[in-house]
Amino acid sequence: MTEKILPTLNRHSSLKTPFSSTELIEKIQVLRKEKNAVLLAHYYQDPLLQEIADFVGDSLGLSQQAISTDADIIVFLGVHFMAETAKILNPSKKVIIPDLEAGCSLAESCPPNLFKEFINQHPNHTVITYINCSAEIKALSDIVCTSSNAEKIVNSVPKETPIIFAPDKNLGKYLIDKTGRDLLLWDGVCIVHEAFAIDKILKLHNKNPEAKFIAHPESNPEILKIASYIGSTSGMINHVKESSDTEFIVATEAGILYRMQQEVPDKTLIPAPAKEDNTCACSECAFMKLNTLEKLYHCLKNEGPEVKVPMELRKKALLPIQKMLELSC
Ligand code: 13P
Ligand code: SF4
């Protein structure tokens, strides 16, 4: 499954420019002003893209920024479901993304026709979906959530109402543990968080006994069991900032380490090792890394590829996202 859905890491080949990174950054700065564009980036993006962005955040923060912007163009430096959510929230804006192929294993694990059947087989359930899914799946949902607010959203549903949770089974299991609710789970995983290796993490921890192990809730239950803190990307950054500890082993996509280290320059951050990763100790999302500085330049220059959502679908997908935003205030 992993091989089928993984994009080829094609960071520089197809859209090469004759410009250096410095020249590209200058050109991007001129274009963004000319076009009144705002650049929103996820923490997993390449550091060069995080540096140039107006706002860097987690999935919830990015959605909130997408509503409040007065820019004419939103350039989404993240994956497709994030850009699509921005378009659903702010349809009058042009939403563009450097690489339209930047997908997500969780979103791809949940085809709308199969999910519709699943819902029909389990009537009377409230359907909560993680924001890492397509507009079609959101349109079939009652409430959307992110890893920042998932617990609050589940707890907002009356105790006697059964819940379907999709597409991330690991986040779902974590929520069952936290809320004591019996969630009916869809069988999806994030290929990046699924790849962390418990044996390698334990070895690393033995070598660095002072280090605290922190993890994103998309990780396997066996990984979460040994974590001293579990939270969204923003939650993990805040925790490392606020904690009196000075050394951390970090189990989430390696791009987060760039911003995290800027926030805590004097602390030691060690990326958690992945299963089939013998060369480096980090875990990268190949989808997130499809976006590059070159592609950003072309994207701004050509005002595309554009992310579009048909009006009827947009209206249906908007309601569960709005419900989440109301509950997140
Ligand atoms: P958050 O930034 O909301 O924690 O999500 C992590 C993620 O995997 C995004 O694709
Ligand atoms: Fe999807 Fe995982 Fe990549 Fe996030 S890190 S975009 S959940 S595949």
Would you say the CB of residue 219 lies under 6 angstroms from ligand 1?
no
Decide if pLDDT at 180 tops 50: yes
Decide if pLDDT at 11 tops 70: no
SS3 20: coil
Ligand 1 probe mutation, 50, 55, 56, 58, most atoms within 8 A of CB = 58
Residue scoring higher pLDDT (11 or 153): 153
Contact at 8 Å (CB) between 75 and 96? yes
Would you say the CB of residue 82 lies under 6 angstroms from ligand 2?
no
Tens digit of each residue's pLDDT (9 = 90 or more) over 253-308 = 999 999 999 999 999 999 999 987 555 546 899 999 999 999 999 999 999 999 99
Residue scoring higher pLDDT (52 or 6): 52
Topology (CATH level 3) of domain 193-271:
Rossmann fold (3.40.50)
Task: Find the mean pLDDT for residues 98-123.
Answer: 98
Q: What pLDDT score does 217 carry?
A: 98
Give 46 Cα–ligand 2 centroid separation in angstroms: 14
Contact at 8 Å (CB) between 7 and 287? yes
Give me the torsion for CA of 154, 219, 62, 183, rounded to 10°: -20
SS3 70: coil
Global pTM? 0.94
Q: Residues of the chain with pLDDT > 90: what percent?
A: 91
Q: What pLDDT score does 277 carry?
A: 56
Which residue, judged by its Cα, is nearest atom 10 of ligand 1?
Answer: 132
Q: What pLDDT score does 329 carry?
A: 80
The CA distance from 16 to 46, in Å, is: 17
112-126 per-residue burial string, b: 16 or more CB within 10 A, e: under 16: eeebeebbeeeeebb
Q: What pLDDT score does 269 carry?
A: 98
Mention the CATH class of domain 21-102+288-302.
Answer: alpha beta
* Average pLDDT of the residues of the chain: 94
Decide if pLDDT at 1 tops 70: no
Q: Fold identical between 106-190+311-327 and 193-271? A: yes
Would you say the CB of residue 291 lies under 6 angstroms from ligand 1?
no
Q: What pLDDT score does 70 carry?
A: 95
Name the residue ranges covered by the structural domains of the chain: 21-102+288-302, 106-190+311-327, 193-271
Task: Find the mean pLDDT for residues 185-194.
Answer: 97
Q: What pLDDT score does 2 carry?
A: 39
CATH 3.40.50.10800 fits 106-190+311-327, yes or no: yes
The CA distance from 196 to 199, in Å, is: 9
